[in-house]
Amino acid sequence: MMENSKTTAGFSSPRSDNFPAGLRVLVVDDDPTWLKILEKMLKKCSYEVTVCGLAREALNLLRERKDGFDIVISDVNMPDMDGFKLLEHVGLEMDLPVIMMSVDGETSRVMKGVQHGACDYLLKPIRMKELRNIWQHVLRKRMHEARDIGNHEMDQFDEVWMLNGTELLSGKKRKDFDNEKEISDSRCVDSSSMKKARVVWTVDLHQKFVKAVNQIGFDKAGPKKILDLMGVPWLTRENVASHLQKYRLYLTRLQKENEVKASFCGMKHPNVSSKENSPQNPVDVCADVINDKCSGVSGDKAIVQNGKANIYESKVKGVVSMPVAEPRSVVGDNFGSKTSLSDSFALINTDVKSLNVPTPYCFTGEAPQPQYKQDFKPRFPSCTQPTCSLNFVPSHEVRDRVSSKENKPSFFKSRSGVGKLSALEAIQPVSHQINFHALEQIPSTTWSMTSQNVDQNLVNGLQSSPGNLTLGSGSVVASLGEDASIQGECFPAYYGLRNIQQFDYSDPQTISGVPTCLYDTLRFDYEYPNDSLEGIVLDQGLFIV
């Protein structure tokens, strides 16, 4: 049956076909009348219900049948044991979501429940519609777990955000992060009431962890030793143990992935006018980002490479990049300027940190269509004349703040410049598509938000006037400069994406100017199984050594 998410890498259970049906609920209430009602209600919700009239009994049951329940609903006032006490135990020992219920809606009590880790606080009389929804807590919890694991099948937002936040924030966002950090800190510190507070493994913290592991030796490293070496007072052995487990999983997976020979090429253009475009090697930038040295990485910086297309080979530790092609010349032939391309990439590239994704995107004017359709393995070699090979590696570092302010000017500028180039027509859509790719693969909200920038303009430009795509960048540019690049927050960009995609497909006009392979690339991407990509990409980002 369902396995506890703690023990499964991918929490397959809640994703099973009939989830949330079959959700295993333990109800604890000393009031037999309510037990009877709740049992009936929960059964009507197609949940698997176990009722228990005593808190101690419930605790025993939970201990006996570890992984036997998905969620606990407990009354606050029980004679044999305070509901809060039970809540604490359950949180600590089983790490299950607990819903508290009481006839008393006094704020202080609700507060107490939440502080003790209750995922919800229901007031009696409890309605069926409230119970119908409780599966969300299970799902949420597992999503968070996946987040911690680096599984990335689900939302990665929080963790990514934290990673970002640590060192990469600048300006206003930094402030936001501080707030967030404060919250998380207090959570961690207040161990009496929040023993089960989820540890946010920031880059910093993770580095300490890795350092400790390396010092002890990977094979010998145990949670206790690591904890001692890390010297982080509020961290518990359990925290470390769980992280160690995830870390091992991650390394294992990474190893496998390496065997697959993941490589991709990134293409960067030098022509961007912005002075921020330092000729930094992408790898360096990435490394910086990873090492927290590079605070406030501006989009342009990270992005702009010396007009080289690079192939990055993924290594367990570190990233190696090697120039593979000179897109410049190719592009140059076809188009007067590469600026637009590079710029649009810029956005993405900025965000790109992990170079591990085996997803090359190539488009060539003359390239045969099915090029990338069949597989996602590096294909450049076969790309005789890659106009540009683009790779987008979703990374954790992706910041929403990469955003705008920095990018905006150059973005805008180059864009408009591009608009004048007739050859642009072809390129323009290309870059859009690329952006789009990146989006598609990005599992985390952060990603979406990154892409949001690009996406936004995509949507705007495309939606409102499809012609823009092919015919000119003018309006696209405008939207880019104005709203597109300024998305601070993250929104699920998929929505927009879908639209775009549809648009691309349905309107051959739009694509007419674009090399056919583009179209295919797009399609390919769409079909491309997200899962593998996500895992890889985000893993890389998560645990950079």
Partner 1 sequence: MERNHHLHRQLANLRQSFFDQGYLDEQFIQLEELQDDANPNFVEEVVTLFYKDSARLIHSIDQALEKHPLDFAKLDSYMHQFKGSSSSIGAKKVKIECTQFGEYCRAGNVEGCKRTFQQLKREYAVLRKKLEAYFQFVRQIGPIETASRPN
Q: Of 31 and 176, which CB lies nearer to partner 1 in the complex structure?
A: 31
- 3-state SS, 328-371, equals HHHHHHHCCCCHHHHHHHHHHHHHCCCCCCCCEEEECCCCCHHH
Binding segment for partner 1 (CB under 8 A), chosen from 54-62, 98-106, 411-419, 451-459, is: 98-106
Bridge partners (DSSP) listed for residue 110? none
- Smallest distance, partner 1 to C-beta of residue 29, A: 9
Give the interface size with partner 1 as a residue count (CB under 8 A): 19
Q: Which positions ≥6 away from 57 have C-beta within 8 Å?
A: none
Tokens of 334: 């076809």
- The whole-angstrom distance between residue 520's C-alpha and the CA centroid of its chain comes to 26
Other CB atoms closer than 10 Å to residue 161's CB: what's the count?
24
Residues between 353 and 372 that touch partner 1 (CB under 8 A) = none
Q: Does 264 bind partner 1 (CB under 8 A)?
A: no
Residue 404 · residue 426 · CB < 8 Å? no
2, 23, 41, 98: which one binds partner 1 (CB under 8 A): 41
- Say whether residue 498 binds partner 1 (CB under 8 A): no
The least distance separating partner 1 from the CB of residue 112, rounded to whole angstroms, comes to 14
Query: Of 100-108, 198-206, 260-268, 283-291, which segment contacts partner 1 by CB under 8 A?
Result: 100-108
**Buried-state track 467-485, b at ≥16 Cβ within 10 A, e below 16:** ebbbbbbbbbbbbbbeebb
Give all strands (DSSP E) within 156-257, no chain letters: none
Among 124, 181, 315, 373, binds partner 1 (CB under 8 A): 124
Minimum gap (Å) between residue 43 Cβ and partner 1:
8
Q: Is 31 in the site for partner 1 (CB under 8 A)?
A: yes
The verdict on 75 binding partner 1 (CB under 8 A) reads yes
Q: If binding is defined by CB under 8 A, does position 127 make contact with partner 1?
A: yes
How many other β-carbons are positioned within 10 Å of the β-carbon of residue 194? 18
Give the one residue of 102, 166, 207, 414 binding partner 1; rule: CB under 8 A: 102
Task: Among 34, 312, 335, 528, indicate the residue that binds partner 1 (CB under 8 A).
Answer: 34
Residue 414 found at the interface with partner 1 (CB under 8 A): no
Site for partner 1 contains 21 (CB under 8 A): no
Tell me: does residue 128 bind partner 1 (CB under 8 A). Answer: yes
Considering only 16, 32, 279, 368, the residue that binds partner 1 (CB under 8 A) is 32
Nearest-5° angle of CA 411, CA 266, CA 294? 65
Smallest CA-to-CA distance from 495 within 456, 450, 541 is with 456
What are residue 266's DSSP bridge partners? 310
Which of these segments, 101-109, 113-121, 264-272, 483-491, binds partner 1 (CB under 8 A)?
A: 101-109
Among positions 15, 16, 21, 40, the unique one binding partner 1 when judged by CB under 8 A: 40
CA angle at 463 for the pair 460 and 467, rounded to the nearest 5°:
100
Q: Summarize as ranges the residues that interact with partner 1 (CB under 8 A).
A: 30-34, 36-37, 40-41, 44, 75, 77, 102-104, 124-125, 127-128
